[in-house]
Amino acid sequence: MRSFGDEDSIFVDMDRLNPNTQTYQPKSLPEREAELDQLHSALRPATMGSTPLNAFVFGPTGQGKTVGISLKTSQLQEYADEKGLELHVVHVRCKGMDKSYHVMTHLVKKLREKRFGPGEELPSGYQKKTLLSMIIDELEAIGGTVIVILDEIDAIGNDDYILYELPRAEPEDVRLSIIGITNDLQFRENLDADVRSSLGEDEIEFAPYDANQLRDILARRAAGALRDTEIGDKDRPFATLESDVLTDDVIPLTSALAAQDSGDAREAIKLLFRACRFADDDGESTITEQHVRNAHEYLEQAAVERGIQSLPLQRALALLTVTHATISGTDQPETKDLHNLYEVFCEHIDTRAISERRFRDKLNDLADSSILAKDTRGRGQGLGQTNRYEVEVKVETVLDNLTDDSRIEAVIDEMLRPRMD
């Protein structure tokens, strides 16, 4: 067994390459200068005793929206503390809160914690209107300038009560600004026009990073995180990066893979971090292109496994029909045959079956998430097209990750496993 503490490492500060924002926050985001200037302009009135503007910040996942806003509001807070201005920033992460109601209970809790310190309870059993009055009361008790950040606000779906009411609340002697953040462009499109115009006094878009920007981001994170790795000119991080542990191809390959997937900085950092950890765990002194490729494969596999684990019942059953065909050696069966098998599964576990058309939608959803491979081909002259499906991953990966629901387990144990022997 390995002992802690007596190993050499390529890392000098591992946290710096950790994509988790609780672990490490960059001190500057040069790639987001334009967006942060826009935010600066929206918040600046706070420094002049006026009300900062409401802003709506949007862009795909992993684009520095959360860290950017946190950097800018911390900078404003520092200024306010220095000048003795009364300013409070409240950050509510709305992920998982599927109603305005939940966002409001969390907002009440956060506002109370501003006054009384951590450990306040979530209020429960109140009507939405009462919660709104509670929020207004709390805001008035705090006073001064209050900036409320509602991060991942798309979680509330169609229930936009809080977004409609809060900008109109007008608490007395409070200069209130609301910053809504979303990575769901559809949510922004679907917002009620009144909500959009009051919340989005300023709209700030974070467009996806390109491969060159990702190179610079990775170079800055790697310098300081890895041994003997430094940047010569901070305005040209990647171009002036010198490293004894990173081979030349590593950052370009990592950026190219992340840019091609989504331009997501979180994914790019995660990939580089995993590649470095693979090298470090093997006791190697350099990180190579192969480590990046292994890390990419590992993360893709992990994402597919998470995707399989979270499949709802109908999609899981649809996946099992294709898996059953693979195990039985049936080469790419027709959707109709898969649906027949699906009906047998449903009967076995006493569940109502969905129609063949909706079943086909489930198969297509699985193909969209790269769990199934879809092949569209002609049936022969004049006979139209047909879709054939195959499992993209190993049969074992499917069976091992579909274990949460006892009905699914029954189908696997009684109808699939016996065919594997």
Ligand X SMILES: Nc1ncnc2c1ncn2[C@@H]1O[C@H](COP(=O)(O)OP(=O)(O)OP(=O)(O)O)[C@@H](O)[C@H]1O
Question: Which residues are documented as binding site for ATP?
Answer: 209, 221
Residue 269 interacts with ligand X (CB under 6 A): yes or no: yes
Q: Which of 54, 100, 183, 314 binds ligand X (CB under 6 A)?
A: 183
CB atoms inside a 10 Å sphere around CB 254:
31
Kindly identify the residues of this chain, within the stretch 334-353, that bind ligand X according to CB under 6 A.
none
Is there a contact between 190 and 159 (Cβ–Cβ < 8 Å)? Answer: no
Which of 199, 196, 202, 153 has its CA nearest to residue 176? Answer: 199
- Among the residue ranges 63-71, 75-83, 287-295, 320-328, the one whose residues contact ligand X (CB under 6 A): 63-71
Residue 266 interacts with ligand X (CB under 6 A): yes or no: yes
Q: Is the dihedral of CA 346, 351, 355, 360 positive or negative?
A: negative
229 by DSSP, 3-state: which?
strand
Nearer residue to ligand X within complex by CB, 60 or 123 = 60
Nearer residue to ligand X within complex by CB, 47 or 61 = 61
Residue 274 interacts with ligand X (CB under 6 A): yes or no: no
Q: Which of 7, 12, 21, 37 binds ligand X (CB under 6 A)?
A: 21
Q: Which of 16, 32, 72, 296 binds ligand X (CB under 6 A)?
A: 32
Q: Which of 217, 250, 287, 341 binds ligand X (CB under 6 A)?
A: 217
Whole-angstrom distance, CA of residue 421 vs CA of residue 414: 12
Q: How far is the CB of 370 from ligand X (least distance, A)?
A: 20
- Among the residue ranges 27-35, 191-199, 236-244, 283-291, the one whose residues contact ligand X (CB under 6 A): 27-35
End-to-end Cα spacing for the chain: 37
Is there a contact between 331 and 356 (Cβ–Cβ < 8 Å)? Answer: no
Q: How far is the CB of 252 from ligand X (least distance, A)?
A: 17
Q: How far is the CB of 356 from ligand X (least distance, A)?
A: 37
Residue 31 interacts with ligand X (CB under 6 A): yes or no: yes
Whole-angstrom distance, CA of residue 179 vs CA of residue 147: 7
| # chain residues binding ligand X, by CB under 6 A | 19
Burial bucket for residue 14 (CB in 10 Å: 0-12, 13-18, 19+) = middle
- Among the residue ranges 64-72, 244-252, 278-286, 310-318, the one whose residues contact ligand X (CB under 6 A): 64-72
Q: How far is the CB of 391 from ligand X (least distance, A)?
A: 29
Give the CA angle between residues 349, 352, 358 to the nearest 5°: 120
Residue 29 interacts with ligand X (CB under 6 A): yes or no: yes
Residue nearest to ligand X (CB): 64
Residue 231 interacts with ligand X (CB under 6 A): yes or no: no
Residue 26 interacts with ligand X (CB under 6 A): yes or no: yes
Please state the φ and ψ torsions of residue 205, each to the nearest 5 degrees: -100, 130
- Contact partners, residue 369, CB within 8 Å, separation at least 6: 304, 307
Query: Which segments are annotated as binding site?
Result: 209, 221
Q: b or e along 348-369 (b: 16 or more beta carbons within 10 Å of the residue's beta carbon)?
A: ebeeebbeeeebbebbebbbee
In the complex, the residues that contact ligand X under the rule CB under 6 A are: 19, 21, 26, 29, 31-32, 61-67, 183, 206, 217, 265-266, 269
